[in-house]
Structure 1
Amino acid sequence: MRGPRHRPAHRGSPAAVEISTEIGALLERNERPQALERFREAIRGGAPLPYPDDHLKTLRAANDTDSARALARDWAPQGAWTPGQIAHAAKVLFDLGDREQALHRLAEACARHPRARGLALTRARLLMLDGQRDAAIAAYEAIPDIPAKRAREVSLILRALREERVTALGFELSVPARVVPPGMLLGLIRGRYETAERHGATNGLRPGDRVLELGTGIGIMALSLFRAQPGLDILCVEANPVLEPVIRENFALNGCPAKLEIGVAGLKDGQTAFHVEANFHASGTAPRATQATRIEQREIDTNRLIDGFRPTVLVLDIEGSEIALLPRLTLDGVRRIVVEFHPAINTAQEISQTVASLLAQGFLLDLRQGKGQVLVFDRGDERTETMHERPAP
């Protein structure tokens, strides 16, 4: 019979448990310098402390990245490092923003353990996430005897890096490096991209539904909706002009007839400022990085679109602009709304007020759908059903 896959290092070590508990208590009291010094003292003294995942979680929750980085750098096992310990420690350092140190540790470790496939896979993945495309290709190609459970993923990653094309989520997709960031590419390949949004929008579709999507990205939502109900009328609005050729190519590759309009979903027809980021997810009407490129973009009156298209389902992922837009839309004919809120951009009060405005219009929050900051609102009253008995324009 197989034993547990992971056995914490402090099991059977009361001293290590006691020290870890002491450090945790100091962190809970926000006595971080004392906690770091106690941790370093224990490591120097050879105490068999487990990797400080819980302590790092506490520091990250407090937005103290510097202390978390220091803790991650200082930890060392009681004996020699194992490849698994090196890989885990490097991934944590990478996630904490210490990418150079993480990759340096991995390069040295891979030279010492040339047959350690887990180390090699971790290094290749982090090189990809760091945007080092050619180095990532070389690292993946050099992995000895890729495990069967990882072989398909590696094959898809290599094709995406070489050809800028990938088969993911059941679709053939164009994924140009200038548009699709490595983290998104990995999420697509692993089937974890916009899962809550896709499920919330596709579950419960009815014959005759008409979907208006605000914030199309590279077209994954429209493709998912079309697959769930072929013949569905879908109108997409995307503000970022850089994405237009990618969206149109992805629609063509998968035979999706969704209509596309390029412009900022707003409350009037005209022009407005839009800030294009290297990572398209960060692009929006307000700049989020100093390297953002400001352009003048077409603004589209969303209420005019609603009046002409008469959607029954509304999907929004517009990077914080949902707060200004949703409460001002005419939603009488809409029975379902799937919206991703952005707490990193908008305050809790702003999000709460937006939710309250939807509840006041007769929508109910469906907690069986959505997840995290993706919320689904639904209503099936007679008003929405009779309004959509009219033939579509």
Structure 2
Amino acid sequence: MTASAPLMSLVWTDHVTGRRGFLVVDRLVRGVASGGLRMRPGCTLDEVAALARGMSMKEALHYDPRSRYVPLGGAKGGIDCDPRDPAAYGLLVRYLRAMRPYIERVWTTGEDLGLTQDLVDRAAAEAGLVSSVQAVYPLLEDEAAARRRLADAFAIEVDGIGLDELAGGCGVAESLLTALDRAGVPYGGTRVAVQGFGTMGGATARFLARAGLTVVAVADVRGTVARPAGLDVEALLAARDAHGTVDRRALRPGDRELPRDAWLSVEAEVLVPAAVSYAIGPAEQERVGARWIVEAANMPVLPEAETALAARGVTVLPDVVVNSGTNAWWWWTLFGDIGAAADEAFGHVRRSMRALVGQVLDRAEADGTTPRAAAHALVADRLPVIAERFGWYR
């Protein structure tokens, strides 16, 4: 898929702190675009534009003319600030207040790197918004029923973790399991290292461990925790703070504390970067000994690194496919393709992700390309179909 100029790019400067925020709308479908809001130090307009492009792809990949959920356009927001900064919450409220006209009519958003949905919801209310996804309400057949359904889904917890957190991790895990099944690799004995133990990384680790894989390393901002025989994932999940940092007092004898970047080179068949973008560049890829990299984070593998990895036989399952389950789950629930129940959500996520990953891997094999190139090709096929049905917004 060839990158084109986004429909709209906006740079905002906070009058209190001087920090900057960004909004990029890549494209609209039926007048609306979807994409989360991230907060991290060093966030840039180019980064947000690339993420918005990725959201257009994720939406298109889930297009099914039989579904009530009609894929939206792609957008993304970003704020250049450390979410742990004491001034971060006030900055978030002011950003949302400044973006209110867009959130009310054009841009549906939610949690992303550095932010939780609870925090976004609280700040959105303080900024005078009805909801961070209110722009989609005019597209719903029964808005009141749809909002109740989504609220019910967000109220569900499974073994101490919210369904909204688990849906995305279920999709990432199922993407890997699909690839392993196609390769004839048994789950037992397959070792996994996860970078980032927040919403996506933690949920992915839980689903993989429960499927029988062995999570041998987890990295957070304080370092990497490793155990060759396998970590107690549930104990680590229970010891996380709101930012995904594990309380080291919960470690068992035999759990080793290693440097932050040690997750790259631990003995494992699978790496799951689930934290920051640009985590694996040309230098980092030389340390990778895994067979698969599963992009739970957005844009964690740089293009030149992916080229080198592919030459070494390392398969990268791309972010636009494997981490798209969170976004799709929101819309399947809101539009009424599924109800609020956890079993129904997980079942739909698993079926949909298996079908999508299967299509991507089939296309990659047929074209002799990487899974990312295959995903781009599928998007290139689907975007004109969506545009023919709903019109072009460029």
Q: Normalising to structure 2: TM-score of the pair? A: 0.36
Q: Normalising to structure 1: TM-score of the pair? A: 0.36
Which structure is richer in relative contact order (CA contacts within 8 A, separation 6 or more)? Answer: 2
The higher radius of gyration belongs to 1
